[in-house]
Structure 1
């Protein structure tokens, strides 16, 4: 991907004011005295992604950004001009002469194969937030990009939007989300929504190269027994008349029964609870019942919702996806270097 790095203006909902004075709508973020709350749209399946709406530019215009806690860079598809862009819901963002200078620390903060080009300074604005401008994307035929205008990078590096807002003194360096099992939910920046008790916390492992949030090593238990490979699960399922299936291209590990499954209730009794036993925290576990790691597809197959990091270039890392985080408030506290979660009602925005 070819990328330019620009300074852009975001909607002034970041800059203060009571949520009671802000309109409540699907396309408007609300400011909660140091915490910004965004309505989230999307689902695990069949959409496969969640997005928020940000008002960007001057005058501000809405753009849909795919939520990604595994990357730092926030970027839009741009008419810079665009060489090759994917279909998007809004007109391409048209940058002005506001590229980040090569001497700016923000330019040096990026560690990515898509190295940004940083050239001329921009004129003075109230809030300086750096975004990438993508204008030449090359994607494999097997990847279907989300129908959004770009990516909202929520990693823990210096170039993420959360870090930039923290450096401006607007929020604590905390980001969290609450994804509903019915679809939708909300995303927040800042720490006002964090309760004083009832949260399970595990230390965050800092990696200076990769900017994703990591809880470190965890022992995987299936039915109370430690397992190291997927073959153990497959062997157990084969005894229960479930066979490997490859009808769904987007989910690599799937099974089928003697007849198509209609819902997770048809199949969850075949599977056992998965427990992640975190090695860096004493007695801290994440319980994942079958409905928290399985997806029933339109083809009537059941697929595993946990990805092997080695298949997507992350080595020994495994990815806990949004299916496992539904109906929980998940908090990435970069101030205290810890990740927390607790059961929550994600169907409604927090009250002002």
Structure 2
């Protein structure tokens, strides 16, 4: 739901949203994610593609620890398909449930007097509206503020009319959109420093106050309070915090792919010896990578590498918000044919509503091939069958599996969504302009390292050590993480208190 239509790379990037985690002076921040998967798999791929199209646009007062957010998952993600978590904004703080979107930059929430904003949600969460006049620490952002001018360059902000108020207008691929103005206010955080102590912290960030929503944003079935942009442009929260030395310029996630869902999101670099890295394509608004070839069972497919080259109309994007995965049209048929030929003796091949599917009573791990996406720098992303197939139905011991990769007619865009990203660590190293990954059991803890101002690396053992449950059912529950924190207390400069 989060890829904003821009000039340059004009692509509908579906992005589901998770939440913010911040950090003091380079210490890692941690967010635990939940996602529940349905017990049946009867959702049609057309529905998933439709949802993807809709979504394809201070300083901390404590010195170290892991920032934890209470989170809730959603049922039936093949229909809803989002990670969301609670952020607290303003003074006194107020709760807002937001998605995290790596395909856009801005954090925005619904504001009072909002036209078209839903008031109820099928996700069983209490929706709220932000009122700048009710927060003692809120201030409006004017067109003369430097941060507004920076946002104009990336099309994330605009100055309209004679109001001198920094504003925004975001339009999404399905015609839905939101508009509003920017405010500066506090985001409140819980820093867990051991299994029995939590300290309160806050940081000043600029975020959007939505006064109008249209299209699917107005629907209540999967409504949330807003969108948390986690992109790399200057108005993203990670950019705001890292530019002031409050957070490292790297974040990582590990999304569970089993039926229990869940995952980990940290501000910092997850330390894992098997991580491989590939460089980001420079000067792109999204997380573009140089995909060079695709292999099936170790054999490179006969696809012209130019099909994957980044330009205004094509390229490969890592997008944690897309449910499925999308392959450039010129590569799609060759890819599907290679899968089909490999399993032709073990499955019954069928086409359902335009999708290549297979009927089998065997385990897909036993009969379907490994697929390798080969990137610049020698980094390969190896996909198991469950990383490129979607189970559609099962009758009398026979299961129908369909290729989860889709194609966008007339476009050379490749989008790697949750289908591909799950059960792996992904590291977005913005400081070094690279992305890394490794296969991982995302139900276990991870080690996180960040470079501090002293030049040393700090390590935190962070992980999903308890079930968060429903935020709505347990609104006051604080999820304690059992962690070991080794840290150096750093000097804090009062000049960081404001932008």
Identify whether the pair has TM-score above 0.5, normalized to the shorter chain.
Answer: yes
Q: Is the Cα–Cα contact under 8 Å of residues 357 and 402 in structure 2 kept in the other structure?
A: yes
Offset of 1:41 from its aligned partner? Answer: 4.5
1:83 matched to which residue of 2? 115
Q: 2:349 aligns with which of 234, 242, 254?
A: 242
CA distance in 1, matches of 2:210, 2:363: 43
| 1:18–1:106 Cα change, 3 Å | closer
Query: Deviation per CA, 1:195-247, whole angstroms, max 9, x where unpaired?
Result: 5x432111111224x2x21222331222323154222344453854222213x
| 1:198–1:119 Cα change, 3 Å | same
Q: 1:294 aligns with which of 382, 389, 399?
A: 389
**Which structure would you say has the larger Rg?**
2
1:316 matched to which residue of 2? 412
What secondary structure is seen at the aligned counterpart in 2 of 1:49? coil
For the pair 1:119 / 2:165, whether they are aligned, the reply is yes
Offset of 1:257 from its aligned partner? Answer: 3.1
Offset of 1:155 from its aligned partner? Answer: 0.9
CA distance in 1, matches of 2:87, 2:429: 22
What secondary structure is seen at the aligned counterpart in 1 of 2:97? strand
CA distance in 2, matches of 1:124, 1:140: 28
2:82 matched to which residue of 1? 49
CA distance in 1, matches of 2:159, 2:70: 30
Offset of 1:92 from its aligned partner? Answer: 3.0
| 1:105–1:336 Cα change, 3 Å | same
For the pair 1:148 / 2:224, whether they are aligned, the reply is yes
| 1:32–1:38 Cα change, 3 Å | farther
Q: 1:274 aligns with which of 354, 367, 371?
A: 371
Offset of 1:345 from its aligned partner? Answer: 2.9
For the pair 1:33 / 2:64, whether they are aligned, the reply is yes
Higher strand content, 1 or 2: 2
Q: Is the Cα–Cα contact under 8 Å of residues 39 and 187 in structure 1 kept in the other structure?
A: no
CA distance in 2, matches of 1:144, 1:207: 37
1:96 matched to which residue of 2? 132
1:66 matched to which residue of 2? 99
CA distance in 1, matches of 2:216, 2:184: 38
Offset of 1:46 from its aligned partner? Answer: 5.0
Provide the aligned length of Structure 1 versus Structure 2. 317
2:265 matched to which residue of 1? 187
Offset of 1:84 from its aligned partner? Answer: 0.9
CA distance in 1, matches of 2:20, 2:414: 35
| 1:346–1:41 Cα change, 3 Å | farther
Which moves more between the two structures, 88-97 or 107-116? 107-116
| 1:330–1:290 Cα change, 3 Å | same
| Root mean square deviation, CA, Å | 4.0
TM-score normalised by length of structure 1: 0.74
Q: Is the Cα–Cα contact under 8 Å of residues 26 and 246 in structure 2 kept in the other structure?
A: no
Q: 2:290 aligns with which of 216, 232, 242?
A: 216
Q: Is the Cα–Cα contact under 8 Å of residues 40 and 185 in structure 1 kept in the other structure?
A: no
| 1:131–1:113 Cα change, 3 Å | closer
For the pair 1:171 / 2:247, whether they are aligned, the reply is yes
TM-score normalised by length of structure 2: 0.54
Q: What are the ranges of 5 or more consecutive residues in structure 1 without an aligned counterpart? A: 4-9, 247-251
| 1:157–1:171 Cα change, 3 Å | same
CA distance in 2, matches of 1:115, 1:298: 48
CA distance in 2, matches of 1:203, 1:137: 36
| 1:147–1:269 Cα change, 3 Å | farther
Q: What are the ranges of 5 or more consecutive residues in structure 2 without an aligned counterpart? A: 5-18, 35-61, 134-138, 167-181, 187-201, 304-330, 446-461, 463-482, 485-499
Q: Is the Cα–Cα contact under 8 Å of residues 297 and 303 in structure 1 kept in the other structure?
A: yes
Offset of 1:172 from its aligned partner? Answer: 1.0
